Amino acid sequence: MDNGPLVKEEIDAGRELIRRLDHYRPVKAAFWLKASDNPYRYLYLASERSDAHPNDLSYDEVLRVVDEIQSPDIDPFRLKVVDTDHPLVRDAVKITEQFPASTGRRDGGRSFGNLFAEDLYLYPLPLPAAVA
C-alpha cells in the first residue's frame, strides 16, 4: 500500500473486510479517503449501534478480522474506526443515500465532512451479495 492512487486490490480487500465485519456488527459507512491535508489514504469504518451491540465498532474487532483476512492490501495502520455521528460518516451516508449505487462511488476534489477530499471511494452499504 503506497501513496499512489487507490487500486482495485485495495477496494476488494476493503470490501472483504466490510463483509466479515458485517457478520459481527452492521457497518453503517465505509470509505477510503485521501484528504488534502494528509499524505496517506485511510479506510474509515463506522458501525450501527443496536441492543446487542450498544457500543461502536472497536479497533480491536477490526484488527482481529484484518488478521483473519491476511491481505497485503489492508494496512492496519491505515484504518480509522470512527463514530457514526462523525461529520465524515454523516456525509458518506448522505451521499450514498442520495446516489445509491450497486458498486462503489468514486469522488474527490470536494468538501467532505470537515475536510477536503482529494480522493474518495464510498462503498455501497449494505454491500451487494458476493459473486460466487
Whole-model pTM? Answer: 0.88
Give the model confidence (pLDDT) of 3-14 as tens digits: 677 899 999 999
- Residue 129 domain-assigned? no
Neighbouring C-beta atoms of residue 53, cutoff 10 Å: 15
Region 112-131: mean pLDDT is 86
In this predicted structure, what is the pLDDT of residue 73?
95
Domain coverage including residue 33: 8-122
- Residue 131 domain-assigned? no
The count of structural domains within the chain is: 1
Give the model confidence (pLDDT) of 12-61 as tens digits: 999 999 999 988 888 999 999 999 999 999 999 998 765 555 556 788 88
Region 120-126: mean pLDDT is 91
Region 113-131: mean pLDDT is 85
Give the model confidence (pLDDT) of 76-105 as tens digits: 999 999 988 999 999 999 998 888 777 888
Region 108-121: mean pLDDT is 91
Q: Which has more confidence, 129 or 117?
A: 117
